[in-house]
């Protein structure tokens, strides 16, 4: 459960990447990550970070949750959207394959709803359907 933890604040950032080479569904492709600091500082060096596909990113949404364990929150979000995770592989600056695992094919309004349901603790009976791009009650 995501009850009160040692960490008191979590900032969730949702991003789109510039220069990814993705076409057609770019408005559905989002990176979802959790940080204890400011989201804007986390992406300041995105072009040098494989997590951000070595590209500049646009912050499309941020959410602030209080009295929540950041690691558990991020694990919950990534588990919740696992079926929509993009299988991305890019070379790092040494030519080695890197597989960023925080990119998902999910509309922003669904991310908004999931975060709201985590906040009000009503997320448990819901699942995400990547085929329909909807939340459904179990």
Report pLDDT digits (tens) over 3-33: 554 445 678 887 877 765 565 566 788 999 9
Give me the number of domains the chain comprises. 1
In a domain, 3, yes or no: no
In a domain, 1, yes or no: no
In which domain, by residue range, is 101 found? 9-137
In a domain, 132, yes or no: yes
In a domain, 48, yes or no: yes
Share of the chain above pLDDT 90, in %: 57
Q: How far is CA 123 from CA 1, 21, 66, 118, in A?
A: 11, 33, 17, 5
Look at the block and give the residue holding tokens 């906040």.
119
In a domain, 2, yes or no: no
In a domain, 4, yes or no: no
In a domain, 66, yes or no: yes
Per-residue pLDDT, 2: 52
In a domain, 50, yes or no: yes
Q: How many residues make up the chain in this entry?
A: 138
In 3-state terms, what secondary structure has residue 99? coil
- Would strands 90-91 and 57-66 be described as parallel, antiparallel, or unpaired? unpaired
Does pTM surpass 0.75? yes
């Amino acid at each position: 459960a995501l009850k009160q933890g040692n960490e008191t604040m979590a900032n969730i950032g949702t991003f789109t990447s510039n220069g990814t080479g993705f076409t057609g569904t770019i408005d559905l492709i989002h990176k979802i990550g959790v940080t204890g600091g400011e989201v804007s500082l986390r992406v300041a060096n995105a072009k040098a970070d494989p997590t951000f596909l070595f590209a500049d990113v646009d912050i499309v949404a941020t959410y602030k949750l209080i009295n929540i364990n950041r690691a558990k929150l991020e694990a919950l979000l990534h588990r919740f959207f696992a079926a929509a995770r993009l299988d991305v592989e890019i070379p790092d600056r040494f030519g080695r394959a890197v597989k960023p695992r925080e990119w998902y094919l999910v509309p922003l309004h669904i991310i908004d709803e999931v975060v709201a349901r985590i906040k009000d603790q009503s997320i448990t009976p819901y699942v995400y359907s990547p085929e329909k791009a909807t939340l459904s009650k179990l």
